Amino acid sequence: MQIDAHFAGTLGAFALDVSFSASARGITALFGQSGCGKTTILRCMAGLTRLSGRLTVDGETWQDDAGGIFRKPHRRPVGYVFQEASLFPHLSVRGNLLYGARRAESGNAQGRDLDLDDVVDLLGIAPLMDRSTTALSGGERQRVAIGRALLSRPRLLLMDEPLAALDRFAKDEILPYLEVLQSSLAMPIVYVSHDITEVSRLAEHMIVVDRGRKAAEGTVEQVLERLDLHPATGRFEAGVIVSARVKSHDTTFQLTHADLYGQKIEIPLVDAEPGQEIRLRVRARDVSLATTRPSGISVRNVIAGHVAEINEETNTAYAETLIDIGGARLRARVTRASVSDLGLAPGKAVFALVKSITFDRRAFMGEQR
Amino acid sequence: MPELSELWSPIRLTIELATITTIVLLVVGTPIAWWLARSTSRLTEVIATIVALPLVLPPTVLGFYLLIALGPNGPGGAIAELFGGRSLAFTFEGLVIGSVFYSMPFVVQPIRDAFESIGERPFEVAATLRASPWDTFWSVAVPLARPGFMTGAVLGFAHTVGEFGVILMIGGNIPGETKVLSVTIYDYVETLRWTEAHILAGGMLVFSFFVILSMRLLERRIGRRGK
């Protein structure tokens, strides 16, 4: 499965020109600030908006302006999940789920199709089946919408900020289902989001879109390491994703000991077996630097490494640094005064003091399959 | 006491006329309403204005032009010739045609409004679920616009029942053929038969009251059932 896309054009005053490829299964995130054009890209892929360009999916050409090809939306085997669930109010939950299923062509290149029972199980919507759509909570509505899209036997699932319209409680309710989806479905998912936490938790690849242009592309780990993407990724949540291997659990202090490329770290107890690979997120603002190994401090994770890169932000007090810890890199946000006082420069040995590590998910894509 | 059959004939004729007119209007008016609601063409407001003209025109003006169109020298006469007639004026068929024009805005406008209030999203959802435009029209647009169809049908029916000026111009006063309720009441008043006029006029009053009341109740019930 391979997706190649290029869209260019203007909508009102907004100009878009983006090309990208997405491959394999798993989630590719289209990430950027609101208004950057990521939803437009998704709509172009579904054929709901028409800009000039080219789109091939799995060897089939869906759009090619040079060849005069444009497949109508209802002839594209995509599942589309809108930001608002947009359920049909005149149909019950069951009627909504079956709307696409009844119209889809059977037969799917990636083996057995999902049937109603699979989807109902996967999304936990059995108790809702015969209810009216108006009697559902926001989270329930969005789960039905996802199920409805899946049952139309898509070969490609497009999700436009499916969590953005939900409150935190409903988000936490849906996220586990999305994680199950990405690991159990054989189809590629393109996921639009402006929330870096969501992206790092769900996606494998990401494309950063900034003001109608592609700013970066790569695995989530690669993109998050980059120091030059501030305007697009946002400063507050900047950080990196690293993988570590679980060694043991300490139930007394509720900690999990893990191995990070040969260095020991501790994180709040996670639900994973020893030996399992876990994915962790470390925010740049949670990392401090020291030139000697400090003692007598509360921070428990002190990781040795070398300065790889320093990016001083002119006209601010801050500098972003990238610390090579042998196998992975951490980002640290420190003051420019510290850079000067500690004599930080590429190659210098430092200790990264990590105040907080967030557990993202159990395994890397493909690790458990 | 007036003769019952004499009163019953115009009532039956009026109901027949209003029923057929409503059915024709739903069939003809729905595609027009759909086009007015969905097309981005600049012509939409011109066509919408033409459809709305009977709201403003004196019925005599509309009736005058219809009379010419239905008469022996108009397109109506040409159609009548196919069936061995000379003219569609002063026939029941002519009344149906006249009523369709006269009541069209009352049917097209509510249906158009209902289509417009659906918005773009349900159609996009249907398209991503593989529904063709034709399929989407029947499976999404029509069910979601149902309140508009109901309002349009009730208004179209009631307005046709209340038609007077146009009918007088193109239908005349042929008992059992074109003599509908409103014309009959006029006749009774002219000939000072107040009892009969009272019965029919009172009946119309009660009928109109219940039509509007039931429509309002219906709208409220649909409104309460949620979006």
For A260-289, write each residue's pLDDT tens digit. 988 999 988 888 888 888 888 888 888 999
How is the beta sheet containing A263-268 ordered, strand by strand?
Answer: A263-268, A255-260, A239-250, A277-283, A358-361
Q: Does B125 reach chain A within 8 Å, measured CB to CB? A: yes
Tokens of A86: 């947009």
- The string of pLDDT tens digits covering residues A216-247 is 888 888 887 776 666 556 655 678 888 889 99
Taking the CA of residue A72 and the nearest CA in chain B, the distance in Å comes to 8
Contact B227 A132 (CB under 8 A): no
Residues A29/A220, Cβ–Cβ less than 8 Å: yes
> What distance in Å separates the CA atoms of residue B221 and residue B61, rounded to the nearest whole number?
39
> Which of A62, A76, A103, A157 to probe by mutation at the B interface, max B CB count within 10 Å?
A103
Q: What was the pLDDT predicted at A234?
A: 60
Q: What was the pLDDT predicted at A358?
A: 76
Q: How confident is the model at residue A2 (pLDDT cuts 50, 70, 90)?
A: confident
The number of C-alpha atoms within 13 Å of A231 and in the hemisphere containing its C-beta is 9
Tell which CATH classification among 2.40.50.100, 2.40.50.140, 3.40.710.10, 3.40.630.10 matches the domain A239-361: 2.40.50.100
Domain range B4-224, CATH class: mainly alpha
Helices B59-70 and B75-82, packing angle to 10 deg: 50
Give B 167-226 residues with CB within 8 A of chain A.
Answer: 225-226
Q: What was the pLDDT predicted at B227?
A: 42
Contact B121 A86 (CB under 8 A): yes
Q: How confident is the model at residue A44 (pLDDT cuts 50, 70, 90)?
A: very high
Was domain A2-230 assigned CATH 3.40.50.300?
yes
Looking at chain A, the domain(s) classified CATH 3.40.50.300 span: 2-230
Backbone angles phi, psi at A118, to 5 degrees: -55, -50
Q: What was the pLDDT predicted at A237?
A: 66
> What distance in Å separates the CA atoms of residue B99 and residue B93, rounded to the nearest whole number?
10
Of the candidates B130, B132, B136, which has its C-beta nearest A152's C-beta? B130
The share of chain B scoring above pLDDT 90, in percent, equals 63
- The string of pLDDT tens digits covering residues A72-121 is 999 999 999 999 999 999 999 999 999 988 888 754 444 456 788 888 88
Residues in chain A: 369
Taking the CA of residue B49 and the nearest CA in chain A, the distance in Å comes to 30
Mean pLDDT of A189-217: 88
Q: What was the pLDDT predicted at A108?
A: 47
Q: What was the pLDDT predicted at A233?
A: 60
Of the candidates A73, A76, A88, which has its C-beta nearest B140's C-beta? A88
Taking the CA of residue B36 and the nearest CA in chain A, the distance in Å comes to 21
Q: What is the ipTM of this complex?
A: 0.82
Average pLDDT, chain A: 86
Per-residue pLDDT of chain B (227 residues; tens, 9 = 90+): 567 778 888 999 999 999 999 999 999 999 999 999 999 899 999 999 999 999 999 999 999 999 999 988 888 888 888 887 788 888 898 999 999 999 999 999 999 999 999 999 999 999 999 999 999 999 999 999 998 999 999 999 999 998 898 998 998 788 888 889 999 999 999 999 999 999 999 999 999 899 888 888 877 877 665 44
Chain centroid offset of residue A49 CA = 24
Q: How confident is the model at residue A365 (pLDDT cuts 50, 70, 90)?
A: very low
Of the candidates B129, B225, B227, which has its C-beta nearest A99's C-beta? B129
Contact A90 B143 (CB under 8 A): yes
Tokens of B66: 């219809």
> What distance in Å separates the CA atoms of residue A255 and residue A58, rounded to the nearest whole number?
45
The number of C-alpha atoms within 13 Å of B191 and in the hemisphere containing its C-beta is 9
Tokens of A262: 């040969």
A chain contacts of residue B226, beta-carbon cutoff 8 Å: 89, 132, 134
Question: Domain coordinates of chain B in residue numbers?
Answer: 4-224
Taking the CA of residue B40 and the nearest CA in chain A, the distance in Å comes to 16
> Which of A39, A45, A48, A96 to probe by mutation at the B interface, max B CB count within 10 Å?
A48
Tokens of A46: 């579904």
Looking at chain A, the domain(s) classified CATH 2.40.50.100 span: 239-361
Tokens of A260: 């990070």
Across A329-352, b (16+ Cβ under 10 Å) vs e yields: bbbbbbebebbeeeebeeeeebbb
- The string of pLDDT tens digits covering residues A249-263 is 998 999 999 999 889
A chain contacts of residue B227, beta-carbon cutoff 8 Å: 89, 134
Q: Which residue of A has its CA nearest to B225?
A: A134
Residues A333/A240, Cβ–Cβ less than 8 Å: no
Taking the CA of residue B19 and the nearest CA in chain A, the distance in Å comes to 28
Q: What was the pLDDT predicted at A235?
A: 59
Predicted confidence (pLDDT) at residue A326 exceeds the cutoff of 70: yes
Say whether B23 sits in a helix, a strand or coil. helix
